[in-house]
């Protein structure tokens, strides 16, 4: 991962942690959150890849800005890793190892994003909150690990730079808040970014396999102040 990617994350994180003084509202609160991502891919065209879900993680911070007793806005800044498995016939994948012209290649792929979800919080009662809104993601890098059972492939792990390519889509979720500090959250995100651009992997392979990321998140959050 490029160094400036990490610096950008730190800068935005500091902005969120100082949002309380910038906005100037006493009820604005700042906290941290972490949890798991369950990611799969929905293919929109007939392609060479078969995808199965994988599990990874996310972590970061949030700011809760109340608008009234029922409504609020919650922007977040997250380091979010999306993992899934990809399987393809080697004859369609010759650019990895041209000397092997048959067999099956299986890989664990991790797309690492700087994600910025902005959700509208709708309070249902004292403990349950419905969330919906847009999410913006900037691809930091993609790591591909060979999980093939055939030793003759001898493929190495590959790291593609993300160059902050944009992913955008809607999110919807539900938050359980038992007290003022802790909350537990589940939500779903559908990304449209890959319908609008080719990845470095597709450019190198010559493939155009249109798909969307479907991400289920389970999170734990804690309000600091």
- Residue 143 domain boundaries: 3-223
Domain count, the chain: 1
User: What's the angle, vertex CA 204, arms to CA 202 and CA 208, rounded to 5?
Assistant: 25
pLDDT at residue 75 greater than cutoff 80: yes
- What is the pLDDT, as a whole number, of residue 174? 98
CA distance 62 to 115: 12
pLDDT tens string 85-107: 887 765 555 555 555 555 666 78
What is the average pLDDT across 130-156?
79
Do the Cβ atoms of 98 and 81 come closer than 8 Å?
Answer: no
Structural element, H or E, at residue 30: strand 29-43
> Contact at 8 Å (CB) between 60 and 35?
no
Reply yes or no on whether the pLDDT at 186 is more than 80: yes
CB 159 within 8 A of CB 171: no
Query: By C-alpha distance, which of 174, 143, 181, 175 is closest to 161?
Result: 143
In this predicted structure, the answer to whether residue 3 has a pLDDT above a threshold of 50 is: no
pLDDT score of 66: 94
Greatest mean pLDDT among 2-11, 13-22, 72-81, 95-104 lies in 72-81
Give percent of the chain with pLDDT exceeding 70. 65
Quick: pLDDT tens for 105-114.
678 889 999 9
**Encoding tokens for residue 22?**
């910038």
Distance in angstroms (rounded) separating the CA atoms of residues 45 and 107: 20
CATH number where 122 lies: 2.40.160.20
Average pLDDT of the chain, as a whole number: 79
Share of the chain above pLDDT 90, in %: 47
> What pLDDT does 22 receive?
46
Encode pLDDT of 206-221 as tens digits: 555 567 889 999 999 9
Cβ atoms < 10 Å from Cβ of 212: 18
Task: Specify the pTM.
Answer: 0.77
Q: Which of 10-24, 108-122, 134-148, 177-191 has the lowest mean pLDDT?
A: 10-24
């Amino acid at each position: 991962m490029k160094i400036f990617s990490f610096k950008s994350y730190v800068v935005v994180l500091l902005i969120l942690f100082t949002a309380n003084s910038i906005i100037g509202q006493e009820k604005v609160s700042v906290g941290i959150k972490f949890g798991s991502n369950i990611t799969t891919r929905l293919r929109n065209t007939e392609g060479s890849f078969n995808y199965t879900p994988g599990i990874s993680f996310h972590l970061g911070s949030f700011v809760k800005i109340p608008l009234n007793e029922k409504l609020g806005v919650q922007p977040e800044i997250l380091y979010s890793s999306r993992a899934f498995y990809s399987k393809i016939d080697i004859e369609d994948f010759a650019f990895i190892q041209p000397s092997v012209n048959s067999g099956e290649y299986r890989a664990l792929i991790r797309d690492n994003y700087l994600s910025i979800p902005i959700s509208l919080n709708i309070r249902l009662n004292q403990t349950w909150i419905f969330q919906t809104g847009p999410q913006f993601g900037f691809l930091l890098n993609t790591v591909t690990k060979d999980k093939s059972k055939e030793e003759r492939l001898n493929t190495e792990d590959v790291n593609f730079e993300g160059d902050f390519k944009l992913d955008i889509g809607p999110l919807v979720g539900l938050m359980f808040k038992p007290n003022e500090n802790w909350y537990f959250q589940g939500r779903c995100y559908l990304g449209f970014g890959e319908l609008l651009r080719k990845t470095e992997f597709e450019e190198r392979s010559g493939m155009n396999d249109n798909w969307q990321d479907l991400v289920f998140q389970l999170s734990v959050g804690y309000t600091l102040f």
